[in-house]
Structure 1
Amino acid sequence: MTASAREMAAATPGSRDRYIDLLRVASLGTVVFGHWLMAAVSSDGIGNLLALVPPLQVLTWGLQIMPVFFFVGGFSHALSYRSLSRKADGRPVYAAFLRARLQRLLRPTLAFVLLWTAGALAVQLAGGGHGRLTGAALRLVTQPLWFIGIYLAMVAFTPPLLKLHERHGWGAFAGLAAAAALVDVLRFALGVPYVEFLNFAFVWLAVHQLGFLRADGRITRPAVLAAAGLAGAVLLVAFGPYPLSMVGMPGEKVSNMAPPSLALLAHGMWLVGAVQLLAGPATAWLARPRVWRGVVAANGIAMTAFLWHLTAMLAVYAAQLALGIRLPEPATAAWWAQVPVRIVAAAALTGVLVAAFKRFEAPGSSITEPGSGPRAAAGITVCLLGVLGLSMTGLGGLLDGHSATLIALPVTAPAAIGMALGGWLLVERSASPRSVRLRG
């Protein structure tokens, strides 16, 4: 039987870093709010508010909070892997680590994918899916899955990069940051084709590496890290080829996000430094029982809320259209007047969806014993490529072979879904249940 948030809060050991749990919830919550705010739906389709009102792009320097989530992931992965290694008495733990980390992440994700696929297929079999709004919704709803694909890559690379961290400390982070800088030099100064895609690894793994440093208490001067990152981001945007927005904008020639740029890495550095500066007062606040219970409860549903928040937003707009309520032109006074109501409605509907699907996010009752590392590595690779592919293809065109290019190869939505499911099963089959519980 699953313990309640009150019971889990009461059982929290004194050694647990509660601030990390708060950062996990706060980062996902900020992303959800940002998506609700940026969506500009009109009768012509779904646009981006920041593209319509460019001065608002400066908001992304606060709302683009994903680096904090990946930083938190690095911290948690370091603790989990080390804990499992200590209990394994020298036995290989890679397969066990992957299975345990993927269990809670992929179950709600795959439930979301399969349910939306069934709905999209039903719409297209009935002859729908070709309207501007419907087609845009079927493309939009899977786009946030990119972050889950990248996160899976971080899980896969944790053991070797943790060893690199233990040997070189800040030098390991510096090496990844230097590699990201070199990629941008090759991209912008020398025009080397396709090299920019390497920064999907270098930039995000560098941020992840900062989580390792926090786990070992080695971020001792967060103000210096924040100042260096902020100064670097400002200079790169002001004098380099980088746009102001830290999220992708429709039609832009250069994006800080896809693929990630050196400017985004600098942005991540300042965010990590900033949240570290707040760690002291936030930890004291989290010592209050009521506050901590709220964070524990939110952590238990955060991934489910993230997966379904766009569904809720789209449903609010659909209800508005069905009721004959006019959709004002985005960024007009009438549009802004409706924003608070739409956000409250989307939050309420997200709560309903969370209540329906939170069971898939509940932690499993068993962890894993050492198993086949190669099988687990192959499984997570196939799975993350499938998730990334689905984030690119969307769920429109399920019946007509619509494809997107993933690492120079075309992939369709059915193929991507098959890869995600097949990869997850490979990881699951790489080890058998055992009563060793992970931490973090």
Structure 2
Amino acid sequence: MTVTAESAPEGAQQPPPTAQLLRIPAQGRRGAGRDRFLDVIRLLVMGLVVAQHWWLPTLVGDADGLTVGSVLSHDGGFLLTWGVQVMPLIFFVGGAANLISWRSASGRGTAASTWIARRLRRLAWPVVPLAVLWIVTSHAMVLGGVPETAMAAGSGAAGMVLWFLAVYVLVVVCTPLLSAAQERFGWRVTAALFTGAAVVDVLRFGTGVEAFGFANIAFVWLGVHQLGFAYGHGAIRRPHAVLMAVGGVAAALTLAIVGPYSPNMTGVFALESSNVSPPTLVLAALGTAQVGVAVLLRDRINAWAARPGPARLLDRVCPQLMTVYLWHMVPLSVIAGVLVFGLGMNTPEPMTGAWVLWGALGTVALLALSVPLARCAVRLEEPPAVLSGAPGTVRVLAAAALVGGGLLVLTVSGLGVGLVPLLGLLAVVSGLALTRAPRPRATSVATVPRVAVDLFR
């Protein structure tokens, strides 16, 4: 999700500041032409996501192995979620990156199906070695005597992070269509998507049928993703950003206070209800506010990112952020296992000094283990050369369905023991295989109809 000047949009006279930055030519140094503002947001989001996966669960060793609870079940814990729920920002960044990438590819004459296939390969292939490691290790450790509940907690959390990739398959497939819609209709596209989210919520809460809410996986996340398109077009000027920040906060608070919504903004570690699973209009409003605030701070963020130290940090870390996201549950599970089963320590009472110390020390240990692991794992993320070529529209849509469905299965089942994770992994691998160009059919006398053979005699 890196935005480069090479793929900058063309056309408008005197483009606004946002578009100007996307047009800056590379000047021979590493990272030149990248939108540092988007890089900083990615770093912030991934850092907070990884940190909350350590801070929010409560771990208690017992006779059954391990009991996992949540800090958010304590009084006032939901307030934390309004600060740590930053996933809308990563969809915003993804929208800007996808827009630039698609414009560059289509400008070179690349078909939409080919572009989607390339994105699917980059998105799904890193999951394969991750899932193989977790599934094999989970079976081996359970057979070796490790409590199945403890192993299920770690493998379930490892699968939980894949929900983002499952949804991202959807936004990748929709990018060519919604990019064209943005060109023609501008802000009306985002408004239509968020209106759809409101309609879904009315149906869900009005009828009591929770299943209706899952339609908002499309409306909410595509709506926030569309804000990235608006940013890429230079359409989010300062007045828009102010309106988004103020209006988004007001709408989110009003809906959460007087509406039928949960006060919790994240679904981490199985709380009974949240505004994420399924997504709601409250999450859309919060995401809009976050984007508005971020754009208002853009100049200051860019000034910080332009310094030599931060620039080097972004150059080194940003290419590995998705690797850290996918793999951080491995060191997290190791740390938790050592503390709970090796040292007999449980998570202290939340919101106490001991809990803060537990969280801080665990975060330091997690960082120390995640960085070298990411350096090794990043080598596994390059799709093999056999996955190449133009598969065509039908094959790429089938591939997206298999990859997205497989990732969803792995999200729900986890990367542990049993047949279901294996089926999920098989679906992902099958989808990846479909992103290849179809093999040409060999023509031989044996396969040509007899009447055609006779013509050449």
TM-score when normalising by structure 2 = 0.83
1:183 to 1:27, Cα distance in 2 relative to 1, 3 A: same
The equivalent of 2:218 in structure 1 is: 201
Return the offset for 1:156.
0.9
The equivalent of 1:435 in structure 2 is: none
Please say if 1:232 is aligned against 2:251: yes
Please say if 1:422 is aligned against 2:414: no
Report SS of the residue matched to 2:328: helix
Report SS of the residue matched to 1:47: strand
Equivalent residue in structure 1 for 2:345, among 320, 326, 334? 326
1:70, 1:245 → 2: CA distance? 20
Please say if 1:182 is aligned against 2:190: no
1:9, 1:69 → 2: CA distance? 28
1:357 to 1:55, Cα distance in 2 relative to 1, 3 A: same
2:220, 2:71 → 1: CA distance? 24
Give 5+ residue unaligned stretches, structure 1: 1-6, 402-411, 433-440
User: What letter corresponds to residue 84 of structure 1 in structure 2?
Assistant: A
1:293 to 1:231, Cα distance in 2 relative to 1, 3 A: same
Return the offset for 1:75.
0.5
Map 1:195-274 onto structure 2 (within 5 A): 195-220=212-237, 221-248=240-267, 254-274=273-293
1:9, 1:357 → 2: CA distance? 28
Return the offset for 1:360.
2.3
1:429 to 1:24, Cα distance in 2 relative to 1, 3 A: farther
Return the offset for 1:102.
3.0
1:195, 1:96 → 2: CA distance? 33
Once the two structures are superposed, residues 40-80 of structure 1 have per-residue CA deviations (whole angstroms, 9 ceiling, x without a partner) of 11114353443342313212212111100000011010111
The equivalent of 2:182 in structure 1 is: 165
2:256, 2:409 → 1: CA distance? 30
User: What letter corresponds to residue 151 of structure 2 in structure 1?
Assistant: T
The equivalent of 2:378 in structure 1 is: 358
Return the offset for 1:345.
1.0
Return the offset for 1:194.
2.1
Return the offset for 1:8.
11
2:270, 2:48 → 1: CA distance? 25
2:130, 2:241 → 1: CA distance? 38
The equivalent of 2:334 in structure 1 is: 315
Q: Is the 8 A contact 1:386 1:415 kept in 2?
A: yes
Once the two structures are superposed, residues 284-343 of structure 1 have per-residue CA deviations (whole angstroms, 9 ceiling, x without a partner) of 222223322211211111011111212211111212245434325442544433222211
Q: Is the 8 A contact 1:386 1:418 kept in 2?
A: yes
The equivalent of 1:395 in structure 2 is: 415
1:264, 1:276 → 2: CA distance? 18
Q: Is the 8 A contact 2:204 2:213 kept in 1?
A: yes
The equivalent of 1:143 in structure 2 is: 160
Q: Which stretch of structure 1 is more off in the superposition, 94-103 or 373-382?
A: 94-103
Report SS of the residue matched to 1:301: helix
The equivalent of 2:171 in structure 1 is: 154
Once the two structures are superposed, residues 120-140 of structure 1 have per-residue CA deviations (whole angstroms, 9 ceiling, x without a partner) of 12224445452x322222222
Q: Is the 8 A contact 1:95 1:431 kept in 2?
A: no
Equivalent residue in structure 2 for 1:104, among 119, 122, 136? 122
Return the offset for 1:264.
0.7
2:181, 2:258 → 1: CA distance? 33
- What percentage of residue pairs aligned between the two structures are identical? 32
Equivalent residue in structure 2 for 1:32, among 50, 68, 75? 50
Report SS of the residue matched to 1:248: coil
Q: Is the 8 A contact 2:121 2:435 kept in 1?
A: no
Return the offset for 1:166.
1.3
User: What letter corresponds to residue 142 of structure 1 in structure 2?
Assistant: G
The equivalent of 2:92 in structure 1 is: 71
The equivalent of 2:19 in structure 1 is: none
The equivalent of 2:360 in structure 1 is: 340
Equivalent residue in structure 1 for 2:102, among 65, 78, 81? 81
1:269, 1:22 → 2: CA distance? 18
Once the two structures are superposed, residues 146-165 of structure 1 have per-residue CA deviations (whole angstroms, 9 ceiling, x without a partner) of 01111111111111111111
Report SS of the residue matched to 1:359: helix
Which of the pair has the greater relative contact order for Cα pairs under 8 Å at 6+ separation? Answer: 1
The equivalent of 1:407 in structure 2 is: none
Return the offset for 1:368.
6.4
Give 5+ residue unaligned stretches, structure 2: 1-25, 441-457
Equivalent residue in structure 2 for 1:296, among 296, 306, 315? 315
Return the offset for 1:119.
0.8
Q: Is the 8 A contact 2:92 2:226 kept in 1?
A: yes
The equivalent of 2:133 in structure 1 is: 115
The equivalent of 2:451 in structure 1 is: none
2:194, 2:45 → 1: CA distance? 23
Q: Is the 8 A contact 1:93 1:371 kept in 2?
A: no
1:244, 1:193 → 2: CA distance? 17
Once the two structures are superposed, residues 159-210 of structure 1 have per-residue CA deviations (whole angstroms, 9 ceiling, x without a partner) of 1111111111110001000000000001112334521110111110000010
Return the offset for 1:353.
1.4
Return the offset for 1:38.
0.8
TM-score when normalising by structure 1 = 0.86
User: What letter corresponds to residue 80 of structure 1 in structure 2?
Assistant: S
User: What letter corresponds to residue 412 of structure 2 in structure 1?
Assistant: M
User: What letter corresponds to residue 78 of structure 2 in structure 1?
Assistant: Q
2:378, 2:367 → 1: CA distance? 15
RMSD of aligned alpha carbons: 2.6
1:292, 1:363 → 2: CA distance? 28
Map 1:48-63 onto structure 2 (within 5 A): 48-63=69-84
Q: Is the 8 A contact 2:102 2:115 kept in 1?
A: yes
